[in-house]
Amino acid sequence: MSWLSRVRNGIPFLPKRQSAETLWHKCRKCGTMVFLKEWEDNFHVCPRCDYHDRIGPKLRFEYTFDDGEYELLPSPEVREDPLKFRDSKRYSERLKAARASTNERDALLNARGQVGGRTAIVGAQDFAFMGGSMGIAVGAAFVAGVRAAIEAKAPYILYTAAGGARMQEGILSLMQMPRTTVALAELAEAGLPYIVILTDPTTGGVTASYAMLGDVQIAEPGALIGFAGQRVIEQTIREKLPEGFQRAEYLLAHGMIDMVVPRIELKTRLAALVGYLAPEKKAA
């Protein structure tokens, strides 16, 4: 009998339906076994090594909005599989599988609520949905989030998490880069702030467009942030790159981002930023 089974069997009040898998979480970085509840209470961050695990949009919203209360905004309807793409599977089948596993329409969701007592629109990408890849639906959701912010006269806050553009949509996915950039120009023209929180991982065309255009650039500790992978860059320039050169802390030290904020402190920091950048206007 393993030590894990002995611990489990030694807890007299443990319901039979529970098991070691529902009691413990194994940290992906340090391998430490942490009580699941302790890990969840710590915002899905390992209490031993401070590894920030990947989480989905709904947890992002819960951790960001005041009292965890928010209203999901509808996702725009877009044309699916415009290229009728197929590799080892049809693209339509991959979409169906991603929707079944995440219960979401696509990789970017928007929500409206209060952050520090002020209205804000918050978007969050889901890496679990086809690697958070940027396709037509993600571009449309981003534009919808920006326009909702303009309508509400509120800041747009975005959590990025993506492997880049969605290859199954070809050039149409790359067109989302200028499309989202134009939307941000509209937000800036309206005098509203755009705050980006870069999470692990943020790479490819997402990094090359809206992920790095924030008025304030924040990153979670240890987040992988870059365009091409380290191996590709090293093979191109034929030089060895510094250890961790695409991690949040390295980017902060070299001026590419403004701050690295632990998840447990992020809500407070965002509330302060919203207060600074989008203060309530006094009545005339």
Q: Edge-to-edge, what's the strand order for the sheet holding 118-125?
A: 70-72, 108-115, 118-125, 156-162, 194-202, 216-219, 259-260
Q: Is 49 annotated as a binding residue?
A: yes
Residue 202 is inside which H or E element, if any? Answer: strand 194-202
Residue 119 is inside which H or E element, if any? Answer: strand 118-125
Q: Is 73 annotated as a binding residue?
A: no
For residues 202 and 160, the answer to whether their CB atoms sit within 8 Å is yes
Q: Is 79 annotated as a binding residue?
A: no
Let me know if 175 is exposed, middle or buried by CB neighbors in 10 A (0-12, 13-18, 19+): middle
β-strands 216-219, 194-202 pairing: parallel
Using alpha carbons, list the distances in angstroms from residue 177 to 47, 115, 124, 211.
37, 28, 17, 10
30: its two tokens: 């340090």
Q: Is 46 annotated as a binding residue?
A: yes
Give dist(CA 212, CA 201) in Å, integer.
13
**CB neighbours of residue 192 within 10 Å:** 20
Give dist(CA 210, CA 184) in Å, integer.
8
| Binding-site residue positions | 27, 30, 46, 49
* Binding-site residue set for Zn(2+): 27, 30, 46, 49
